[in-house]
Amino acid sequence: MIACMALALASCSQTGKERPKLGLALHSFDDSGSIAIRRCMETEALDKADLAIIDGQNQQSTQDMQMDSFFAGKVGAIAMDAVDATTVKSLIGKAKERRIPIVFFDNKPSDEAMRSWDKLFFVGTRETEGGAAQGEILAAHWKITPEADRNRDGRVQFIVLDGEKGGSDATVLADAFIKVLFTLGIKAERLVSEPEGKPARERAAALIAKYGDKIEAVICGDNTAALAAVDAFKTAGYFKPKRNMPIIGLGEGTVPSAIAGAVAAGTILGAAYSDTGSEGRAVFDLAYALAKGANPVRAGWRITDAKYVWIPYKKFTNEPSPKPKK
């Protein structure tokens, strides 16, 4: 299979220099974020480039073998979501030897690995920005809802629910959440959370039993945890007149219908989510520019430290938000 792919790529590379050949290595075809990136890159490539796509099947060894087909096929550049970004040193060495640039996305290699060659780039989000966006959502609500401060101490007491499937790091989210609230003139205090390992609903129920109305907000590591929190707080008698609870989710790509419905119903205050549309366009634009031998700065995206394109989170609430700009 790999030999056939390599031959196909090689034959494509001889059909003309106007359409560069790009490789897209996904860690899994089943991942929602990967699906969004793939669709975006396929759309962007229609009139510009030939795109070969591989499914790493969430196995680094499988992805390594597939990457060899890209190297053999002499693609102009590779866009890669590594299964395990800590093991890409040998892949980078092969790419450097063959002068094939790589644009990593989602799963970032170490800064040391990224500095090992000037043709390596990364497109993605800063985890801290997810917590910051959640803080902005809460701040907007807090400033127009005086009763949200239940104990009237001028401070938001909140809990963090880790994601059901790993999600974002709770400490990183909480620190960023507190920091942005402080910059917006609101003090915040994180209430001690239950240990990991239990389903989010059980953890939420335990925290409600422990803190009760001391809880003034809930931030979640993913949208599944947010929906679990809604269920737990409903069971505890919340979401009735004068007993609401601001719950804020976190996700990637399009907002799930369940979250949109909960926001409309008022059981979820809002959600921060990564902009996979902009991410996919940035990955394609950089890979395309590199394959054409152009300076990636000309792709139109802000590149930090000559390596990184950071895509800001978007906010989903009942209030319309402006579209992101390049």
pLDDT at 166: 53
DSSP per-residue letters across 88-129? -HHHHHHHHHHT--EEEESSPPPHHHHTT-TTEEEEE--HHH
In a domain, 321, yes or no: no
Q: What residues make up the domain containing 229? A: 127-273
Please check whether residues 137 and 269 belong to one and the same domain: yes
pLDDT at 320: 47
Please check whether residues 147 and 63 belong to one and the same domain: no
Here the tokens at position 258 are 């369940």
Please check whether residues 137 and 264 belong to one and the same domain: yes
End-to-end CA distance of the chain: 39
pLDDT at 18: 75
- Beta strands across the sheet bearing 102-105: 50-55, 21-26, 77-80, 102-105, 120-124, 308-310
In the DSSP assignment, the letter for residue 322 is P
pLDDT at 195: 67
Round to whole Å and give the CA distance between 165 and 225.
9
Here the tokens at position 274 are 């990564």
Please check whether residues 208 and 81 belong to one and the same domain: no
Ramachandran sector of residue 99 (left: φ over 0; alpha: ψ -120 to 50; beta: rest): left
What are the residue ranges in the chain where pLDDT is below 50?
Answer: 1-16, 320-326
Round to whole Å and give the CA distance between 171 and 162.
9
Query: Which of 253, 273, 293 is the last residue in one of the domains?
Result: 273
Whether residue 195 contacts residue 161, with contact meaning beta carbons closer than 8 Å, is answered with no
Please check whether residues 55 and 89 belong to one and the same domain: yes
Name the domain count of the chain. Answer: 2
pLDDT at 6: 44
Phi, psi for 305 (deg, rounded to 5): 55, 30
pLDDT at 230: 97
* Residue 250's CATH number: 3.40.50.2300
